Amino acid sequence: MPSGAQSGPKPAIDPKTDPDLTTPDTAAPLSASDSLTDDVSDNPLSPPDKSFRPQGNAGEGASKHDESHLPLSAGLYLVATPIGNLGDITFRALEILKRADVILCEDTRTSGKLLSRYGVKTKRIAYHEHNAAKMRPEIMDRLGKGQGLALISDAGTPLINDPGYKLVRDCKAEGFTVTAAPGAASPIVALILSGLPSDHFFYAGFLPPKSMARKKELARFAPIPGSLIFLESPKRLAASLTDMAEMLGGTREAAVTRELTKMFEEVRNGTLADLAAHYNEAGAPKGEIVVIVGPADASENEPSVEDIDARLSELIKTHRTKDAADILARETGLKKRDLYNRALELAKSDPD
């Protein structure tokens, strides 16, 4: 007993007036600010107790006051998944995946490995480019019935080079909630590891597999004032780098990244010409490839007459005169008509 404390009989406690002994029947009702909110965000996404229904992984015996077992409110949740290292998934992503009614997967088997790793037992349904048109009506019907659906891709952020934007568009048109749990995206990871300027960049995805179509696309991208981001398959990497060197300029700085966040992650920097030479000699690398091409040197925006003639002479060897002028116009910003006339003069003066 503390010093100075008085001993003696304890005063009687009235259970009706003592707040510590107030029974649940007499407790003050919860105010709006005290109502349950969703663990996944600060928004009250979960339904109130009276409308609670077991969904997803909730189970019949789940406590109404255990928010981790409450179902998601109706809506589409775009959930990013790891691009290599399974540890890169977020707590919020796992919470959504566990509480969703259904997970829409690009490939149910591929996604199954990740979901099994974290004990996610939510039902999976395939949603990919080959069945998207057929599946969208069913998905919209599920949303209309109040279900919470999670959309994931095989790796990374959904919709980035994967199907899904039409589904998001339809959901927004019907007034359904669409939100995202952000995370890894290989184009952004590659960009920040490349050491190339990241203040302005353009994501171009995969280039066409055929060289002629690929060069045509590259000509469109040449004047963009920023870094360019491409995805590429290992077997086409050398050919694509060769075409990039021709169409974008061999001295342009670039980086080839592969196996990002994995054990054998690699970032190889160099000029486009050097990288093309390396992979033409070394052969196709292993793993998923992201190529970053830095912006053109500002001094290259004002080429000399000699540079223009040299570039036109090079282009008219493999392109029609009109196409050669168009390509150089895109690269330099010069007038196509002037370049076309100059290309005609060069073609006439060429003894071959």
Instruction: Give me the residues of the chain with pLDDT under 50, please.
Output: 1-11, 15-65
pLDDT, residue 59, reads: 42
* Domain contains 227: yes
Q: Tens of pLDDT along 211-268?
A: 999 999 999 999 899 999 999 999 999 999 999 999 999 999 999 999 999 999 999 9
- Residue ranges making up the domain that contains 320: 302-349
The two three-digit tokens of residue 160, written as one number: 């980035």
pLDDT, residue 161, reads: 85
Domains in the chain: how many in total? 3
* Domain contains 194: yes
pLDDT, residue 349, reads: 77
The two three-digit tokens of residue 291, written as one number: 């190529």
pLDDT, residue 144, reads: 96
Say which CATH number the domain at 212 has: 3.30.950.10
**Is the same domain home to 332 and 272?**
no
* Domain contains 60: no
**Is the same domain home to 196 and 93?**
no
Write the single-letter amino acid at 222: A
* Domain contains 134: yes
Say which CATH number the domain at 154 has: 3.40.1010.10
The two three-digit tokens of residue 260, written as one number: 């990002």
pLDDT, residue 24, reads: 41
pLDDT, residue 63, reads: 42
Overall pTM > 0.75 = no
